[in-house]
A and B are shown apart, each in its own frame.
Chain A
Amino acid sequence: MEKARPLWANPLQFVFACISYAVGLGNVWRFPYLCQMYGGGSFLVPYIIMLVVEGMPLLYLELAVGQRMRQGSIGAWRTISPYLGGVGLASVVASFFLSMYYNIINAWAFWYLLHSFQDPLPWSVCPLNSNRTGYDEECEKASSTQYFWYRKTLNISPSIQDSGGVQWEQALCLLLAWLVVYLCILRGTESTGKVVYFTALLPYCVLIIYLVRGLTLHGATNGLAYMFTPKLEQLANPKAWINAATQIFFSLGLGFGSLIAFASYNQPSTNCQKHAIIVSLINSSTSIFASVVTFSIYGFKATFNYESCLNKVILLLTNSFDLEDGFLTASNLEQVKGYLASAFPGKYSEVLPQIRNCSLESELATAVQGTGLSFIVYTEAIKNMAASQLWSVLYFFMLLMLGIGSMLGNTAAILTPLTDSKVISSHLPKEAVSGLVCLVNCVIGLVFTMEAGNYWFDIFNDYAATLPLLLIVLVEIVAVCYVFGLRRFESDLKAMTGRTLNWYWKAMWAGVSPLLIISLFVFYLSDYILTGTLQYQAWDASQGQLVTKDYPLYALAIIGLLVASSTMCIPLVALGTFIVRCLKRGDTPPVA
């Protein structure tokens, strides 16, 4: 008797697993940036339209395929058509790259979490220089939070060519991160199903706590007003629509095979249409919720910096003109400046170059995304809050939960095809397969703990899983609609779940979504070609800021390899299957 496929203990575990996977770091650190760049409140219009037109149909498609085929991505696509096994393989390769570099973020989150138990927080003060008369030079030029990130955490080298050695502290954190992931996936759906209760729910608890704290911070309303004021002219900007589509696409984690893997452990009669709608709605609402929190924190930080800037100007003027201490305040500053300019023109013109123009707008307009947002901007805001250790611990714990939740999906995408294959599962128990995958990823991940590791991380982040994924999902839709046949799929779904397929889904799958993806694909390709050489941001320790540099040739080669290795699987496997079939047909003589 065949061993039964492991199942989720109840449908709620499946929903939580999908939410846990889809709601990740991108919701927290990419969406607020996009919202800020493309018109604040008015960005929600293209975002919601893309959600309904692109996100929900594609998510439903992947869940339906997984639930119907009841196999991981390779097996599922091979069942649809033997020539399409390459799509599954491309998904697995993309997932493999993703899990390689994604866990280093968890390692960084662990690092910051472990350092949050000190008073004062290590990123709030600059360390002293060697003769203890002042602060470290690099820290003075940059800020203490940037110094802690670039020097203490990453120990970053000036360029990608200087690789430096492996940082043992980061390597230890990476090891811990992989051990935690291994602990969660060890027993397959049995253990994953219980862990996802925490990884899905705890981030919301922390976000709610942060929302309450954020809204009560001084200056939070400045940030919220800035964010939600709609700039309607951005609706005419095509980049806003393209970025909305891209964000929906990548935020849901389509094309990696994780959703197919999760859905394959479902009971066949599960109502995956309802689940697809619920998961995509929750994912988008979480993005909006997280950006409310982020913008109240931005507002606090911007107001704090603006007031410090004003205080610096006040101190400068008080000291240069020997005015009475406490006489100059923010309210009479302009007036007094005018008076001083007229009364002491010579001295004033000496001091003038040092007086910075403090502007709340420019503080709010500094838009940051990615690791910079979490590890530099947020930490700067946290260090100025009361009881900063508590807020720091909460924040990095939330980042960890989000990151580990996404890692569970990534590893499931790799492990499900492996455990499905008879060859591997007959020789090795699933604990050993999971352990091997984690070990290989951990060892390769040590590359990202080197001094130039962050530059490699940026390469993987920008190129390993962007263009290939668009192609994979395009081939997926075309395969289901035209190769497998939309009518056949519809009747299969009806037999499986007992519900007829709504015309809306059919229209989206057959027409609108493929067109959208093709246009996204064309846009990205033309963008890459037009920019010419690819560049990256390197940290210059002497200036204390980022500078732009060109990638060396071997880095460009590796980028090309990354993109090619997943996309080439599709045509290569199709070709290989075709050749094998031809050979087989040639070998067996036709029956008379």
Chain B
Amino acid sequence: MRQNNSITQEHTRRSKAKADGENAFKVRLSIRTALGDNAYAWDTNEEYLFKAMVAFSMRKVPNRETTEISHVLVCNVTQRVSFWFVVTDPLKNHTLPAVEVQTAIRMNRNRINGAFFLNDQTLEFLKIPSTLAPPTDPSVPIWIIIFGVIFCIVIVAVMLLILSGIRQRRRMSKGPTEMDDSEDKCENMITIENGIPCDPLDTKGGHINDAFMTEDERLTPL
């Protein structure tokens, strides 16, 4: 009698784990894509681990702390690897509502992913959208900082150039009057080196420089 009962129970449970049941979820794993050569094979032990992770997630939900691994049913495992699972409540003999399972899985998604070395894209729960990580937004956008730096450098350079231009122009407007005086002084100045006046232009008359004697004068004329 008891055997019959357990067989009927098993049968009822299996029929609840029908694919397309409204509280069933399809799971899809892409182990080879994620791990390449380090991929592990999907066997019944991995299935057991999966059931354990689902049960663990359900236990975190208030009122469901008594969920056991045997309450999680897995069926239709394909080569892909993909399968359907459903969580049952044997006391009330029905499957847990999809919303509860969904919330539980969403909250523990990282733990489940970690147990299998996968991520949100390679371990997919088909009706459970994953919460995407928000992009890190620094308080001051980086581009404004760099903009500020370049802006300040350019402004300083412009100021420097304008100021030096103004100074140059002021010097030039004083310059021509000074230059006229110094030109007159030059003509009257005689360069004096070591106290001896130098005469750059010898205007006193011809001195013959013996070093530059012409060729025929060296030879005795005939």
Question: Which A residues lie at the B interface, using CB under 8 A?
Answer: 110-111, 114-115, 117-118, 125, 127-128, 132-135, 172-173, 176, 179-180, 182-183, 186-187, 191, 318-319, 322-326, 429, 431
Shortest Cβ distance from B151 into A: residue: A176
Kindly state whether residue B30 has any CB partner on chain A within 8 Å.
Answer: yes
Stretch from B9-17, B52-60, B78-86 contacting the other chain: B78-86
Tell me whether A127 and B80 are in contact in the complex, defined as CB-CB below 8 angstroms, given that A326-B33, A431-B165 are known contacts.
Answer: no
Q: Could you tell me if B132 and A128 are in contact, using CB atoms closer than 8 angstroms?
A: yes
Tell me whether A117 and B142 are in contact in the complex, defined as CB-CB below 8 angstroms, given that A324-B80, A326-B32 are known contacts.
Answer: yes
Q: Which of B82, B142, B146, B158 is in CB contact (< 8 Å) with A183?
A: B158
Kindly state whether residue B147 has any CB partner on chain A within 8 Å.
Answer: yes
CB 8 Å contact bits of B135-160 with A (1 = contact, 0 = none): 10000001100110011001101100
Shortest Cβ distance from A115 into B: residue: B143
CB of A192 to closest CB in B, whole Å: 12
Q: Could you tell me if A179 and B155 are in contact, using CB atoms closer than 8 angstroms?
A: yes
CA distance A19 to B99 in the complex (A): 68
CA distance A429 to B172 in the complex (A): 14
Q: Could you tell me if B80 and A325 are in contact, using CB atoms closer than 8 angstroms?
A: yes
List chain B residues, Cβ under 8 A from A172.
147
CB of B45 to closest CB in A, whole Å: 19
Q: Could you tell me if A182 and B143 are in contact, using CB atoms closer than 8 angstroms?
A: no
CA distance A110 to B33 in the complex (A): 39
Q: Could you tell me if B80 and A134 are in contact, using CB atoms closer than 8 angstroms?
A: no
Q: Could you tell me if A114 and B80 are in contact, using CB atoms closer than 8 angstroms?
A: no
Q: Could you tell me if B32 and A134 are in contact, using CB atoms closer than 8 angstroms?
A: no
Question: How many residues on the B side are at the interface (Cβ–Cβ under 8 A)?
Answer: 32
Q: Could you tell me if A325 and B129 are in contact, using CB atoms closer than 8 angstroms?
A: no
CB of B195 to closest CB in A, whole Å: 40
Q: Could you tell me if B80 and A318 are in contact, using CB atoms closer than 8 angstroms?
A: yes
Tell me whether A322 and B162 are in contact in the complex, defined as CB-CB below 8 angstroms, given that A118-B142, A128-B134 are known contacts.
Answer: no
Tell me whether A322 and B131 are in contact in the complex, defined as CB-CB below 8 angstroms, given that A186-B162, A191-B161 are known contacts.
Answer: no
Q: Which of B39, B80, B147 is in CB contact (< 8 Å) with A319?
A: B80
Tell me whether A186 and B147 are in contact in the complex, defined as CB-CB below 8 angstroms, given that A125-B135, A322-B78, A325-B31 are known contacts.
Answer: no
List chain A residues, Cβ under 8 A from B146.
114, 117
Q: Could you tell me if B33 and A325 are in contact, using CB atoms closer than 8 angstroms?
A: yes
Task: Give me the 9 closest cross-chain CB pairs, A-B, nearest first.
Answer: A326-B32, A114-B143, A322-B78, A322-B80, A324-B79, A133-B129, A325-B32, A179-B154, A325-B30
CA distance A318 to B162 in the complex (A): 69
Shortest Cβ distance from B122 into A: residue: A325
Q: Could you tell me if B131 and A133 are in contact, using CB atoms closer than 8 angstroms?
A: yes
CA distance A461 to B130 in the complex (A): 46
Shortest Cβ distance from A127 into B: residue: B135
CA distance A11 to B158 in the complex (A): 26
Q: Could you tell me if A180 and B154 are in contact, using CB atoms closer than 8 angstroms?
A: yes
CB of A396 to closest CB in B, whole Å: 12
List chain A residues, Cβ under 8 A from B80.
318-319, 322-325
List chain B residues, Cβ under 8 A from A318.
80
Q: Could you tell me if B131 and A132 are in contact, using CB atoms closer than 8 angstroms?
A: yes
Q: Could you tell me if B33 and A134 are in contact, using CB atoms closer than 8 angstroms?
A: no
CA distance A118 to B141 in the complex (A): 10
Most chain A CB within a 10 A radius of its CB, from B32, B33, B130, B147: B147
Query: Could you jot down 16 A-B contacts, CB within 8 Å?
Result: A117-B146, A125-B135, A128-B134, A134-B132, A176-B147, A176-B154, A179-B158, A187-B161, A318-B80, A319-B28, A322-B78, A323-B80, A324-B79, A325-B81, A326-B32, A326-B39
Most chain B CB within a 10 A radius of its CB, from A180, A325, A431: A325
Q: Could you tell me if B157 and A183 are in contact, using CB atoms closer than 8 angstroms?
A: yes
CA distance A176 to B2 in the complex (A): 85
List chain B residues, Cβ under 8 A from A325.
29-33, 80-81
CB of A185 to closest CB in B, whole Å: 11
